[in-house]
Structure 1
Amino acid sequence: MSLITPSQNQQGGPKKGGARRAENNRLYGHSLPITFEKSHSWTSHILGLFGVSGTRMLNPHCTGIFDPHSRSVWVIDSKDAMIMWRRGFFGKGDLSRSEPSWRTRQISAGRAAAGKHMTAEEIREKRRAERKQFKLDRAAAIAQAAAEAEAAFTEGREAKSSVVIPSGATWRPQQLVTEESPSLSPIPDEERTVEFDEDSVPDLEHLQLTLQEAFFLAWSLDCLTIIDPTTSESMSLKQIWTAFQQIHGSTYIPGVVSEIYANRFDSPFMVNYAAYHYYRSLGWIIKGGIKFCVDLLLYKRGPVFHHAEFAIVIIPVYEDPEDQETSPFDLANSQPFSWTWLSTVNRVNSQVQKTLILTYVTIPARSRVSQELLSSPACLAHYSVREVVLRRFIPARMRD
């Protein structure tokens, strides 16, 4: 039983800006690529009288290409990529920070160059320049008012200052032309004749899925077809299962099962997938957590709605110590780590208001479980997941 479920915390972490909340709910309202549509026909109404649901499942059936060099699956089709991202936030754009928006940003930059509008970066720099100018104007007005008050006090007369100190509500920026931001000046109408062709911008970006995300989509949801890059044919579930395990070997050869890495329950893919499937099945949105020195980040609804509330560190635990001694894999966090490291990671995540969770994945002993189970995902039932929640004590915040 998990210590955390999305339903137990209705807040879901600090909310992001609410200006586009309704639009985000429309675009990213589905947590999985598979959706359900309720029919309103007379046939479904009659079936409903007999207890038969008229709801049908809509499966997008997306396609990805297995790339052994990057240990990922590439979704090339832009339509499939947007389905994967908007319905569950799977993967990331290889030319973007998260959502595959490279082409959109290039079109925006092209329009800005043609004089139609400013890019988001230019708007940001314009606002920064305006804030800087406001602080300078306010400081100058305060200094002038102080000088007039001091002069009036010296002369022994009543201080009546004519200086108006600007405030954030009444101050309006003047024309800002600086050496650092020459593009902020307005473009004359006679120079706005350049037409920008959006069709000339190629779509060079693809969505990159991790092996855990790809297998979850292919096996658990059956909405992703993975193509073998060598044969250009769709891979069977057994081929995907074998290839994803063998990819972590030092000498990976497509289609060849190495005896060194065969019959092993401690494959990095299997250990990480056990934790990934565990949290996905509980309804969490999962993204990589390398930015915060952890393995996974858990979102209640997704990055566009809330910040991640939990940070996960996956710790493999061998049921049989002999399996660890004979293992060809060097699993991360399999060795005891120092309290200095643990305190460092906990402090980093506490500063960004994330709760650190140590997720212990117990690897079944080879002597207890039949090796035939490794040929299918049925062996995942023998893995167990335990959680330890760590919270950093902060006296200034926890007095109540």
Structure 2
Amino acid sequence: MAATVDQSQSGQNSSQKKAGRRRNENNVIYANPLPIIFSQVENKFAVTTLGIFGISPTRVLNPRCKGVFDPTTRSIWITDPKDRMVLWRRGFFGKGNLSRSEPSWLVRLANSRSAAGRQMTSEEVTAKRRAERKQFKSDRAQAITAAAAEAEAAFAEGRVISVEETGVSIPSAATWKPSVSIRNADLPERSLGTVLDAEPPEDMEHMQLTLSEAFFLTWALDCLCIYHPKTLEPMTLREIWTVFHTAHLPLHLQTLPSQAHALRPDNPFLVNYVFLHHYRSLGWVVKNGVKFCVDYLLYKRGPVFHHAEFAMVLIPVYEDPEDASSSPFKLSNAEPFTWQWLSTINRVNSQVQKTLVFSYVSIPACSRVSRSELASPACLERYSIREIIIRRFVPARMRD
């Protein structure tokens, strides 16, 4: 019995050491919450001199990333690997088009071609954990079945035995270790590794930024330059503002020579950008939440540190109801929702331990916002956001 306790404690200590090491590595890699870094001048003389004249000795390190606007997918494509890494590791912006989140397709391809210097990606770690969890449940079920069979056989003979006396060891999460076959189940074959390593693979992946993320990086942080898809020339802020509005128009309206009707306060780009800018400015990491039937997820630091704590549903609210009938856009969640819909998303997010939040974005009336205001980000001050937390009542859990 003492040996079992020692094994359990050693297993827990080993898992805690691995978790602590991984946490320390993530703290170093993802230390900066935004692409822009503020660093102090190391020269003490320069610091003193600047302080005399009332100048801050802080330096601003701007990565100046580059992206190309893609009207088909309504996104910004980042093809430079360095820019992709900067935007992901400093704020978790964007998503790899061939990956689940972090652009890791090239690393996964290199892992499949060579066993040397293997670096597991997030997708591979998830697949490995799922295989181990499945094997653990199977081993535990077999051990419990064997112990029950031994106990029933002893009971038929008129004897009562304990679990230790059956000779069957029921694995626990702290002491169980996967077999070699399960550890390598997610690893591809490497028989051609030496041949394929001679030719480095071409990076076919690019990062996609949503229009809201791209405008936040361009306007609020000034660390992203967006290029026109045809001319490949840098776009001005006014051009970006107009193009992002036009991208959400229906196809039959995009062909019209005048795009003035795209500048409306209920444009989907504006509504979503107000949401993203609000929570990003408060320090939250905002990611897509379609996996959990919501619009967005809010992370305290990022996906590599903790699971998302809040599941956000963006609900646009018209200040003037007449604007909804004359709008060329069909905003999501603008219509009254049903109780079945509310029960569905509430149950989904309560089971994954996320707090469901309804974020109401108030859209100003068209009569109150002038055309000149809508032609620039000055109109953003007209919007407001209110939140309501929705919780599912579980009598067995909430009695206390």
Could you say whether these structures have the same fold, taking a TM-score greater than 0.5 normalized by the shorter chain as the test?
yes
How many aligned positions are there?
371
Match runs of 1:267-346 below 5 Å: 267-346=267-346
Residue segments in structure 1 that go unaligned for 5+ positions in a row: 1-15, 185-190
Deviation at 1:168, TM superposition (A): 3.3
1:92 aligns with 2:108: no
Aligned to 1:106: 109
Check the 8 A contact 2:51/2:57 in 1, yes or no: no
Aligned to 1:366: 366
Deviation at 1:127, TM superposition (A): 7.3
Aligned with 1:225: secondary structure? strand
Range 100-109 or range 138-147, more displaced: 138-147
Q: Which amino acid aligns with 2:259?
A: S
Check the 8 A contact 1:47/1:54 in 2, yes or no: no
Q: Which amino acid aligns with 2:95?
A: K
Which deviations, in whole Å up to 9, do the C-alpha atoms of 1:18-77 show, x marking residues without a partner?
541001111111111001111221333313653533110000000011000001001011
Give the number of the structure whose alpha-carbon radius of gyration is greater: 1
Aligned to 2:49: 47
Check the 8 A contact 1:311/1:349 in 2, yes or no: yes
Relative to 1, partners in 2 of residues 1:193 and 1:288: Cα closer, same or farther, differing over 3 Å? closer
Aligned with 1:249: secondary structure? coil
Structure 1: how far apart are the matches of 2:117 and 2:51?
61
Aligned to 2:210: 210
Out of 17, 22, 25, the residue aligned to residue 23 of structure 1 is 25
Structure 2: how far apart are the matches of 1:310 and 1:92?
20
Structure 1: how far apart are the matches of 2:119 and 2:50?
53
CA RMSD of aligned residues (A): 3.6
| Higher helix residue share | 2
Residue segments in structure 2 that go unaligned for 5+ positions in a row: 1-17, 186-190
Structure 1: how far apart are the matches of 2:255 and 2:33?
33
Q: Which amino acid aligns with 1:46?
A: T
Relative to 1, partners in 2 of residues 1:244 and 1:254: Cα closer, same or farther, differing over 3 Å? farther
Check the 8 A contact 2:33/2:91 in 1, yes or no: yes
Which deviations, in whole Å up to 9, do the C-alpha atoms of 1:228-281 show, x marking residues without a partner?
00111011101110011111111265995434x334111111111111111111
Check the 8 A contact 2:245/2:263 in 1, yes or no: no
Aligned to 1:396: 396
Over the matched positions of the two proteins, sequence identity in percent amounts to 52
Relative to 1, partners in 2 of residues 1:138 and 1:344: Cα closer, same or farther, differing over 3 Å? closer
Check the 8 A contact 2:114/2:193 in 1, yes or no: no
Aligned with 1:74: secondary structure? strand
Check the 8 A contact 2:76/2:214 in 1, yes or no: yes
Out of 72, 75, 78, the residue aligned to residue 75 of structure 1 is 78
Relative to 1, partners in 2 of residues 1:151 and 1:350: Cα closer, same or farther, differing over 3 Å? closer
Aligned with 1:298: secondary structure? strand
Aligned to 1:5: none
Range 278-287 or range 348-357, more displaced: 348-357
Match runs of 1:62-211 below 5 Å: 62-112=65-115, 121=127, 125=131, 128-129=134-135, 132=138, 136=142, 139-140=145-146, 143=149, 147=153, 164-168=167-171, 194=194, 196-197=196-197, 199-211=199-211
Aligned with 2:114: secondary structure? helix
Deviation at 1:321, TM superposition (A): 2.0
Deviation at 1:78, TM superposition (A): 0.9
